[in-house]
Each structure stands twice: as structure tokens, then as C-alpha cells.
Amino acid sequence: MRGSWRLGRVAGIDAYVHWTFGLLLAWAGWTAWQGAGTGAAVLLGVAFLVAVFGSVLLHELGHALVARRYGVSTRHILLTPIGGIASLEGMPRAPKAELAVALAGPAVNLAIAAALALVSRVTAFEAFGLVDGLLYANLSLALFNLIPAFPMDGGRALRAFLAGRMGRRAATGTAVRLGRGIAIAMALVGLFVNPMLLLIAAFVWFAGGAEARALDGYGDDDGSFGRERYAAPVSAWQRPGAYQGVRGGGTRVVFVRRSW
């Protein structure tokens, strides 16, 4: 991938890290140096950051492996300074399958946190606070990703839960509206507490819109282009603004955008 370094292959999936991750490591080392002024502190700070992003990699791998179980392949996993991205080739249409894929990532982080809590409880191994720090980092990753707003896993889990009751399009609309409400609340809190929340709020707001637009042209909840509504003359679907597609059976399906 352009602008990225290949880390290796995990469970048959190529993993990459974006070059800007090096800047994040440098920032972590510099911050540790400013705080303690020792080489050991720098190494500890960098090691902690690498461990956190190792957890992010496992989080994305959780999504990928569960998606594979439902017949969806993953092109690659990319780590960036703001998180990880598992590039799935699609998303299972069955609500239960989508729910399982969405919750797989946070479940991995909760499992890591539980394992670290056990290690911390039954042994004296602390590794200069790395164990406890990584434990809380994984809890934070799980809880943050469970916020019911796109593009977080919680938003997709909510959509999957609702899709079995009201259909995929209506479920997406409900999840987007809830997510935007959360974005507004984040922005208000960010004005008085932490400006970083303003950036997260903007991200959530626009990601919700992108998720809704992704369904444009897909009138049915089964993922097909749409049922036959009426026959249109050839001149109608040849004009600019008409969208054409082919269903699985080879039947041509045409959407005609009206002029008003």
C-alpha cells in the first residue's frame, strides 16, 4: 500500500502501518523525555504505545476473522495514528451476522483486559505500570467503540439489532439520527471540557451521513437494486441522471431520476 509499511501477515491477512505512525512514536518518546528526562522513560513510553496499537491490531483482526466466518474476506488491516481499519470486502447482510462482526472487535479488547487483570491479580508482574496501563487502554477502546454512533462498532451493532425489526434502511436512519444526537452532545461537552471532543463529534456527524448515503440506490433490504416498479421508455434511462445496474440473474434494473 502506498504510504504504508507492511508489518507482516496475520491469519492470512496483510497488516500495514501508515508512515505517520512513526511521527506518533516520536511524539510519545519526546513526551516521555520531557516528563522524566531518561532513556528508560522514552523506551517505556514507546513500548506502551506499541502495545496499545498491538491491541488495536487484534481488535481489527477480531472483526476480520468473524467476517471470514460469514464468507466476507478482508483485503488488509491498516494501522494509523487515529486507529485501525479492517478493509472488509463487504458486510454480511443478515442482521445477526453484522451484529457478530461489529461486536467482535470490542470483545477482543474486553478479553485482553480480562487477561491482564488476571495477570495483575495473581502475580506481582507490573512491568513499570504497563500492565495496568494496557488494561485500562483496552477497556477504553472497548467502551469507546461501543458508543452507538457510526462509524464506531456500536453504531453498526445498533443498526444490525434494529434491522431485524424495521429493515436495514430504516435501521440505518435511526442509528444515524441517534449518532448525530451523540455528536451534538460531544460537541457541547467539548466546548467546555476538551476541544478534542469537537473533532470526534465532527467525525461522527459526517460519518453518519456517509453511512446513510452508502445505501442510496439500494431500495431493498436484501441488498439488491430494487423491485420492478414500472416500465420506462428507453429514452428515459439513457438520459443523464439515470442509474443502471444488473441484478444477479442478469436482469437490467434502471433508476430514473425525475427532473423535479
Summary count for the chain: helices (H), strands (E): 8, 6
Kindly state the helix (H) or strand (E) to which residue 92 belongs, with its residue range. none
Instruction: Decide: residue 123, CB within 10 A, 0-12 exposed, 13-18 middle, 19+ buried.
Output: exposed
The set of catalytic residues is 60
Q: How far apart are CA 132 and CA 86, in angstroms?
A: 27
Q: How far apart are CA 225 and CA 246, in angstroms?
A: 8
Q: How far apart are CA 25 and CA 44, in angstroms?
A: 11
**103: closest CA among 51, 67, 139, 54?**
67
